[in-house]
Amino acid sequence: MAGLLKQALQRIQAEVDSGFDALLPVPSDARARLTEAMRYAVIGGGKRIRPLLLTATAELHGVDREMAVRTSLALEAIHVYSLIHDDLPCMDDDDLRHGKPTVHKVFDDATAVLAGDALHAFAFEILGDPALTGDPFTRAELTLCLATASGLQGMAGGQMMDIVAETTAFDLPTVTKLQQLKTGALLGAAVEMGAILGRLPPEGRTHLRAYARDIGLAFQIADDLLDHEGDEAAAGKALRKDAAAGKQTFLSLLGPDRARSQARMLVDQAIAHLGQYGAEADLLRELARFIVERDR
């Protein structure tokens, strides 16, 4: 991993952990268990790719670091709530996440459902709060962006398609749409929210959106390859479940060689979309390369 990226990842990981730690104190009543489950899920795990994308995009446009990090906590809270619900026995039934037992294993299913729900609300508490920014227009725009990316038109819609994929043989365009919703929407929101903080008008976000779309697909193809070839210990979660379930993926539809070259092509294309930026966008470029080169 390139030095710039490595440093940036370490920095955002520390900032996200301490941000959640500060915003989620454990109350001294029966809600303690819920807060502990939320803290267990959000602190000390995950690569924090979405917060990095958001803060790197914000930095391109001179946004105050503290505001960008706080906004990225809302985004990461949505990502983590979706993982908690996704890991439930009635969903993917996973016991391991980021190398730790999943929330419902450590606590119980009911607490896991509630911890996900409470993190979901927590995200919008952050975005609605004047403590984030005194500009209500930015808060409202961030709210709409994140809610759209995580709901029926985004992540939750993609997860529904993913469930249907277990019993229906999807073709390549349908798998692409599924992945654009399931993973792409939230990665796109990371870049979009950074641009919103930077007060970039919608028409000025075209290149950034194209960058996000390309790395979103590349990310998923890389995930499919890692799922196929990776090591469970390094991944910190169960692998090869899609193939076992007979689910169509980029890998099953394209084969490993075409999948790999497609991912590389998407990364080159993503980097080309950053052409208008100079060295200040190097972090976004390194991140794009990392997405297909990572080992977990």
Residue placing its CB nearer to a copy of itself in the complex, 59 or 141: 141
Using CA atoms of 52, 57, 60, 61 in order, give the dihedral in degrees to the nearest 10.
-130
Report the candidate in 43, 41, 156, 50 with the shortest Cα–Cα distance to residue 97.
41
Residue placing its CB nearer to a copy of itself in the complex, 181 or 217: 181
Question: Is the Cβ–Cβ distance between 260 and 225 less than 8 Å?
Answer: yes
Residue placing its CB nearer to a copy of itself in the complex, 160 or 238: 160
**What are the residues facing 97 on neighbouring strands?**
100
Q: Which helix (H) or strand (E) holds 100?
A: strand 100-101
Q: Write out the two tokens for 172.
A: 């390549």
Cβ 162 to a copy of itself shortest distance, Å = 9
Cβ 81 to a copy of itself shortest distance, Å = 8
- Tally of CA atoms within 13 A in the half-sphere of 284 that contains its CB: 36
In the chain, which ranges are continuous DSSP H helix? 3-23, 32-42, 49-60, 65-86, 103-106, 109-128, 136-150, 155-164, 172-179, 185-197, 206-229, 232-235, 241-244, 250-272, 282-293
Residue placing its CB nearer to a copy of itself in the complex, 105 or 296: 105
Residue placing its CB nearer to a copy of itself in the complex, 109 or 232: 109
Query: Measured in whole angstroms, how far is the alpha carbon of residue 106 from the centre of its chain?
Result: 23
d(CA 13, CA 95): 23
Residue placing its CB nearer to a copy of itself in the complex, 127 or 191: 127
Query: What does the angle CA 44 – CA 93 – CA 84 come to, to the nearest 5 degrees?
Result: 35
Cβ 130 to a copy of itself shortest distance, Å = 8
Residue placing its CB nearer to a copy of itself in the complex, 73 or 165: 165
SS3 of residue 218 by DSSP:
helix
- Chain contacts with a copy of itself (rule: CB under 8 A): 24, 27, 29-31, 33-35, 38, 81-82, 85, 88-91, 108-111, 113-114, 116-118, 120-125, 127-130, 136-137, 139-148, 150-152, 154, 156-157, 159-161, 163-165, 168, 170, 174, 177-178, 181
What backbone torsions phi and psi does residue 101 show, to the nearest 5 degrees?
-60, 145
Cβ 74 to a copy of itself shortest distance, Å = 10
Residue placing its CB nearer to a copy of itself in the complex, 122 or 219: 122
Cβ 163 to a copy of itself shortest distance, Å = 6
